[in-house]
Structure formats: structure tokens, C-alpha cells
Amino acid sequence: MKHDSATPLTTKTRTRFFSLLALAAAAALLASCGKKDSSSGDNSGGGKSAGKKIVVGFSQVGSESGWRTANTESIKAEAAKRGIELQFSDAQQKQENQIKALRSFIAQGVDVIAFSPVVVTGWQPVMEEIKKAGIPVVLTDRAVDVTDDSLYVTFIGSDFVQEGRRAAEWLAKTTGGKAKIAELVGTPGSAPAIDRKKGFEEVLAKYPDMKIIKSQSGDFTRAKGKEVMESFLKSPDAKEITALFAHNDDMAIGAIQAMEESGIKPGKDILIVSIDGVRDAFKAMADGKLNCTVECNPLIGPQLFDAVDAIMAKQQLPKRSEVKEGVFEQAQAAAELPNRKY
Ligand code: AHR
């Protein structure tokens, strides 16, 4: 039908014309609701139509420690509580697995992607792909090294440098600033391993009689912590070790086993300070085998999904939020044990 504005329309033609116009407008509105704006790279989220389940893709580091198990449980439980669909993927401590998971979340078109990066470097390309797809990113627990901080909305986690400082301060206070230290480092290239070492050494620099005489990665696992401690204890200068700093409780517990098997009294012959504050560390402290644990709180599920909700509601979020944490010594262990939530 040719429509000429100069030609008067009949009532029937006019009704049909306006009905078609209304249909076209409704279709355009529906299409714009379901689409993320990828052309502008806007990954601030929002625009979710009411009644639809929010879908979050979460890529977890692995299941290397008691801390990690508690972290996973906190995230899964909170998603279930809020009726959020969680696409959960365990990377088994491998960056390539995490990158694959992130790409599959893009392909699925999830609403928000969250991940705890196993190492700090190598994320820029995949995070640019996520941004191009218009999907907002929340980093939990571990940070990334990227040149463009618009690649993620917010980071939720701990101050690992401060945790390292707290461990060293405790050791300095307890030994009067004299110690020959064996160090069990976390996963090489990971934020907690880099930052805890940095904080620990920063404090050590003030004490000339506190020295790290052995340092090796135990990959944050109990088995590797035991294996590395066994090799420390077999070295010619093993008898000089007076203290152990383990970047997490699991490696400290593995090292305790190694010490006991070679006739050394953990917590007495060698003082032990580690990080996390998991229940097993409190048990080891109550048994007198571990001296101090610096808390690193894994229960960040509620904070993560508060952030997801805020993103979906197009609210502003701080670039970084930290979790409150304490330091626990042997004397507090028995009383504190029943209160531990992880
Ligand atoms: O990133 C947090 C660290 O990772 C925890 O200290 C450790 O136990 C875990 O594996």
C-alpha cells in the first residue's frame, strides 16, 4: 500500500496502519531488553527483565585447601539462598582451565562473571573479550594485574600484604626478633604468595637477626607442604631452623606431620605461624603443635552476591572491598574452636 500524506486515509486504513506501528514498537522494545550492549563495551550490567533468574558464572581456583573448600561452600550456599543460578567451574589450579571457563560463560551469555584468579598475570585478553560481550566482572579473593581497571567492576577479598606483616610481627614479638626461618610459599605467581611474602619481608627488614634461610613453594596444599618440609629437614643446615612461616594452614599442617615423623616437636622445637585460620589450624594450636594463625576470611559468598545484586540494579560499587580479619594464638585456640565457622 502506498501511503501519501497528501492523500486522506479511510478510517479502516488508519486503524490498520496504527496497529502495525504499535506492533513494531513493541517488538523493538522486547529486542532491546534481551540484548547486552557489546558495541560500547558497557559491562556495568543491569537491564534484567523482572522475574528472570540471574545467572552468574563463577570460576574457582581449585580445591587445594580447607580455606578453598569453605570459600566454595560459602559461594554455593549464598547463590542457592538467593535463587541465583550459579554456573560453577573448578579450574584445578590451572589458569588455562579458568580461561576456558570464562570463555564458556561468555558463550552462555551469563549476567555476571565472577572469578578468583589462580595467578595475577595473563588475564588482559580474556577480560577484554568479556568486556566486549558486555558482561560485568567481579573479582573475588585474588587480584589480577591488568593495565585497564575498567575490565572489572569490583574486587572483594583480603589484604594479603597485611596478613604477611601480621605473621612477621607475631614472630618478632614472640622470638624477641631472633629467628632462622623456613618459608613455605603458596602457588608461584599467585596474589597471596606474592603479597604475603612481601608483607612478611617488609617487617623482617626491621630485625637484622630474623632471616629466611629456606624458601620453597608448597603450592598451598598439605601434601606439598609435607614434602617440601621433609626436604628442608634433610638439608645439612636443618638444625638451624627455629621457625616456620607457611603461607597457609594446610601447608603448615603438612609440615607438622613431616616434623613429627622426623622426631621434631612442632610448635616447640620449631615455632610455626601460618595464615587462614581454618578449624584444623585451631585444633593444631589446641594440641600445642601450631603457634599462631593469621586469619584470612573465605566466607565471602554474601558480599559477592550483594555485589551481583547491585550490578543488576545498576548501582555504583567501590573498586575494592576488604574483609575484616584477626590474629589467633595458641592460648585462644580451645575457646575459639567451637566458634569457628570454617
Ligand atoms: O587465595 C587465598 C589462599 O588460597 C588461601 O590462603 C589458601 O589457603 C588458598 O589456597
Residues 8, 12, 13: CA angle, nearest 5 degrees: 55
The CA-atom distances, in angstroms, between 275 and each of 73, 99, 142, 186, 209 are 19, 28, 15, 11, 23
- Confidence at residue 311, expressed as pLDDT on a 0 to 100 scale: 98
In the reported structure, the alpha carbon of residue 109 is separated from the centroid of ligand 1 by a whole-number distance in angstroms of: 29
- Find the range with the poorest average confidence among 28-32, 107-111, 251-255, 304-308: 28-32
Q: Which three cell numbers stand for residue 2?
A: 502506498
In the reported structure, the alpha carbon of residue 57 is separated from the centroid of ligand 1 by a whole-number distance in angstroms of: 21
Determine the residue of 59, 60, 61 to mutate for testing ligand 1's pocket, defined as the one with the most ligand atoms within 8 A of the Cβ atom: 61
Q: How far apart are CA 101 and CA 74, in angstroms?
A: 20
The DSSP symbol for 270 reads B
- Confidence at residue 324, expressed as pLDDT on a 0 to 100 scale: 84
Determine the residue of 140, 224, 249, 276 to mutate for testing ligand 1's pocket, defined as the one with the most ligand atoms within 8 A of the Cβ atom: 276
Ligand 1 atom nearest to CA at 62: 10
In 116-209, at which residue ranges do the beta strands (DSSP E only) sit? 137-141, 154-157, 179-185
Cell match 616456620: residue? 244
In the reported structure, the alpha carbon of residue 146 is separated from the centroid of ligand 1 by a whole-number distance in angstroms of: 21
Residues 237-269 as b/e (b if ≥16 CB within 10 A, e otherwise) read ebeebbbbbbbbbbbbbbbbbbbeeeebebbee
Q: Which three cell numbers stand for residue 322?
A: 576488604
Give the residues across from 62 on adjacent strands.
none
In the reported structure, the alpha carbon of residue 192 is separated from the centroid of ligand 1 by a whole-number distance in angstroms of: 7
Q: How far apart are CA 28 and CA 51, in angstroms?
A: 20
Identify the helix (H) or strand (E) that includes residue 290. none
**What's the mean pLDDT in 125-154?**
98
**What's the mean pLDDT in 275-302?**
98
In the reported structure, the alpha carbon of residue 186 is separated from the centroid of ligand 1 by a whole-number distance in angstroms of: 8
Q: How far apart are CA 289 and CA 266, in angstroms?
A: 5
The CA-atom distances, in angstroms, between 177 and each of 101, 266, 273, 314 are 46, 20, 15, 51
243 close to 180: Cβ distance less than 8 angstroms: yes
For residue 9, pLDDT over 50 is answered with: no
Question: What residues does ligand 1 touch, defined as CB less than 6 Å away?
Answer: 64-65, 67-68, 141-142, 192, 220, 248, 250, 275-276, 296
In the reported structure, the alpha carbon of residue 252 is separated from the centroid of ligand 1 by a whole-number distance in angstroms of: 13
Q: Which residues contact 85 (CB under 8 A, 6 or more apart)?
A: 53, 54, 55, 56, 79
Ligand 1 atom nearest to CA at 116: 1
Cell match 549464598: residue? 78
Q: Are strands 85-90 and 154-157 parallel, antiparallel or unpaired?
A: unpaired
157 close to 323: Cβ distance less than 8 angstroms: yes
In the reported structure, the alpha carbon of residue 128 is separated from the centroid of ligand 1 by a whole-number distance in angstroms of: 26
Ligand 1 atom nearest to CA at 142: 1
Determine the residue of 140, 141, 293 to mutate for testing ligand 1's pocket, defined as the one with the most ligand atoms within 8 A of the Cβ atom: 141
Q: What's the full length of the chain, in residues? A: 342
How confident is the model over 227-261, as pLDDT tens digits? 999 999 999 999 999 999 999 999 999 999 999 99
- Confidence at residue 35, expressed as pLDDT on a 0 to 100 scale: 38
With cut-offs at 50, 70 and 90, classify the pLDDT of residue 27: very low
Output the pTM of the full model: 0.86
Protein residue whose Cα sits closest to atom 3 of ligand 1: 192
299 close to 66: Cβ distance less than 8 angstroms: no
In the reported structure, the alpha carbon of residue 280 is separated from the centroid of ligand 1 by a whole-number distance in angstroms of: 14
Q: How far apart are CA 230 and CA 217, in angstroms?
A: 13
**What's the mean pLDDT in 146-152?**
97
- Confidence at residue 50, expressed as pLDDT on a 0 to 100 scale: 62
Ligand 1 atom nearest to CA at 249: 8
How confident is the model over 305-330, as pLDDT tens digits? 999 999 999 999 999 999 889 999 99
- Confidence at residue 323, expressed as pLDDT on a 0 to 100 scale: 87
**What's the mean pLDDT in 172-189?**
98
What distance lies between CA 340 and its chain's CA centroid? 20
In the reported structure, the alpha carbon of residue 65 is separated from the centroid of ligand 1 by a whole-number distance in angstroms of: 7
Question: Taking all residues of the chain, what is their mean pLDDT, rounded to a whole number?
Answer: 90
Ligand 1 atom nearest to CA at 190: 1
Q: Which three cell numbers stand for residue 326?
A: 584477626
Identify the helix (H) or strand (E) that includes residue 236. none
In the reported structure, the alpha carbon of residue 15 is separated from the centroid of ligand 1 by a whole-number distance in angstroms of: 67
- Confidence at residue 43, expressed as pLDDT on a 0 to 100 scale: 54
Q: How far apart are CA 184 and CA 190, in angstroms?
A: 14
